[in-house]
Amino acid sequence: MRKINIFDTTLRDGEQSAGVNLNLTEKLEIARQLERLGVDIIEAGFPAASKGDFQAVKQIAETIRNCSVTGLSRSVQSDIDAAWEALKGGAEPRLHLFIATSPIHMHYKLRMKPEEVIEAAVSAVKYAKKYFPIIQWSAEDACRSDLKFLKTIITEVIKAGANVINIPDTVGYITPKEYGEIFSYLTKNIQNIEKVSLSAHCHDDLGMAVANSLSAVEHGATQIEGTINGIGERAGNAALEEVAVALYIRKDYYQATTRLNLQEIKRTSNLVSKLTGMMVPPNKAVVGKNAFAHESGIHQDGVLKEKTTYEIISPELVGVHSNSMVLGKHSGRHALRNRVTELGYTLTEEEINKLFVRFKELADKKKDITDDDLVALVFEEKFDQ
Question: Is 189 labeled as ligand-binding?
Answer: no
Q: Report in angstroms how near the CB of residue 135 gets to ligand KIV at its nearest.
A: 13
Quote the CA–CA distance of 364 and 314 in Å, as a whole number. 31
**In this structure, which amino acid lies at residue 356?**
F
Long-range contacts of 301-309 (CB under 8 A, 24+ apart): 301/332, 301/334, 301/335, 304/334, 304/335, 304/338
Question: Is 229 labeled as ligand-binding?
Answer: no
Looking at the Cβ atoms of 221 and 320, the one nearer to ligand KIV is 221
Question: Is 237 labeled as ligand-binding?
Answer: yes
Please choose which of ligand KIV, Zn ion, none residue 266 contacts, taking the beta carbon within 5 to 8 angstroms, the exact cut-off set by kind: none
Please choose which of Zn ion, ligand KIV, none residue 299 contacts, taking the beta carbon within 5 to 8 angstroms, the exact cut-off set by kind: none
Quote the CA–CA distance of 326 and 329 in Å, as a whole number. 10
Q: Report in angstroms how near the CB of residue 192 gets to ligand KIV at its nearest.
A: 22
Looking at the Cβ atoms of 136 and 300, the one nearer to ligand KIV is 136
Quote the CA–CA distance of 344 and 225 in Å, as a whole number. 48
- For 267-293, the DSSP string reads HHHHHHHHHH--PPPTT-TTTSTTTTE
* β-sheet bridge partners, residue 237: 203
Q: Report in angstroms how near the CB of residue 149 gets to ligand KIV at its nearest.
A: 16
Q: Report in angstroms how near the CB of residue 131 gets to Zn ion at its nearest.
A: 24
Q: Which residue is nearest to Zn ion (CB)?
A: 13
Looking at the Cβ atoms of 5 and 170, the one nearer to ligand KIV is 170
Strand ranges, E, within the chain: 2-3, 5-8, 41-45, 68-74, 94-100, 134-140, 164-169, 197-202, 223-226, 256-257, 293-294, 324-325
219 CB-near residues (< 8 Å, 6+ apart):
179, 180, 181, 183, 184, 187
Contact residues for ligand KIV (CB under 6 A)? Answer: 13, 72, 98, 138, 140, 168, 170, 201, 203
* β-sheet bridge partners, residue 73: 97
Looking at the Cβ atoms of 53 and 140, the one nearer to ligand KIV is 140
Looking at the Cβ atoms of 13 and 381, the one nearer to Zn ion is 13
Q: Report in angstroms how near the CB of residue 347 gets to ligand KIV at its nearest.
A: 57
Contact residues for Zn ion (CB under 5 A)? Answer: 13
Please choose which of ligand KIV, Zn ion, none residue 275 contacts, taking the beta carbon within 5 to 8 angstroms, the exact cut-off set by kind: none
Please choose which of Zn ion, ligand KIV, none residue 98 contacts, taking the beta carbon within 5 to 8 angstroms, the exact cut-off set by kind: ligand KIV
Q: Report in angstroms how near the CB of residue 323 gets to Zn ion at its nearest.
A: 34
Of 138, 94, 95, the closest CA to residue 117 belongs to: 138
3-state secondary structure of 199: strand
Quote the CA–CA distance of 190 and 194 in Å, as a whole number. 9
Quote the CA–CA distance of 252 and 8 in Å, as a whole number. 25
Question: Is 13 labeled as ligand-binding?
Answer: yes
Quote the CA–CA distance of 208 and 204 in Å, as a whole number. 6
Looking at the Cβ atoms of 14 and 315, the one nearer to Zn ion is 14
CA-CA distances (angstroms) from residue 11 to 28, 143, 185, 232, 274? Answer: 10, 24, 31, 9, 14
Q: Report in angstroms how near the CB of residue 238 gets to ligand KIV at its nearest.
A: 11
Looking at the Cβ atoms of 102 and 323, the one nearer to ligand KIV is 102
Please choose which of ligand KIV, Zn ion, none residue 26 contacts, taking the beta carbon within 5 to 8 angstroms, the exact cut-off set by kind: none
Annotated binding residues for Mn(2+), written as ranges, equal: 13, 201, 203, 237
